[in-house]
């Protein structure tokens, strides 16, 4: 019986040692996981900071784009007015040229009629 008790004690000690080893391994795993968690938390904080910075930059860019759009509208309206004036000027110039061409046509036709009358008999 004593031998049996020693064997049971020995088995129990081995079992205790095995459980202690498992406990140490679990503690080590817990420590590693806590390190991973803290690393992830730092990464998340950095990500949030980066997102905040990017949102701020995005807002600044939007404001700058709005400002440039307003400037372009002002410039566009000025250019539009200048463009309309240029169109009116060109149209007027075209009408003047057309009138001059019509005058030349009338002169040529008059001269042509004059030449025809010179060679045609008076009864015609």
For the chain, which residues make up each domain, given as ranges? 1-88
pLDDT of residue 124: 60
pLDDT of residue 59: 95
- Print pLDDT tens along the chain (124 aa): 888 888 989 999 999 999 999 999 999 999 999 999 999 999 999 999 999 999 999 999 999 999 888 888 877 777 777 888 888 899 999 999 999 999 999 999 999 988 888 877 777 6
The Cα–Cα gap between 21 and 116 comes to 131
Whole-model pTM above 0.75?
A: no
Encode 67-94: b = buried (16+ Cβ within 10 Å), e = exposed: eeeeeeeeeeeeeeeeeeeeeeeeeeee
pLDDT of residue 102: 94
Question: Could you give the C-alpha distances from 59 to 64, 98, 103, 124, in angstroms and in order?
Answer: 9, 56, 65, 89
Q: Which two tokens stand for residue 84?
A: 């309309």
């Amino acid at each position: 019986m004593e031998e049996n008790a020693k064997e049971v004690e020995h088995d129990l000690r081995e079992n205790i040692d095995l459980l202690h080893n498992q406990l140490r391994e679990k503690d080590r795993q817990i420590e590693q996981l806590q390190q991973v968690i803290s690393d992830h938390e730092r990464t998340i904080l950095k990500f949030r900071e980066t997102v905040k910075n990017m949102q701020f930059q995005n807002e600044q860019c939007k404001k700058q784009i709005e400002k440039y759009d307003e400037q372009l509208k002002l410039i566009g309206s000025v250019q539009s007015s200048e463009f309309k004036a240029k169109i009116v000027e060109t149209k007027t110039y075209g009408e003047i040229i057309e009138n001059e061409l019509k005058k030349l046509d009338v002169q040529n036709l008059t001269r042509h009629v004059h030449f025809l009358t010179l060679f045609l008999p008076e009864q015609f």
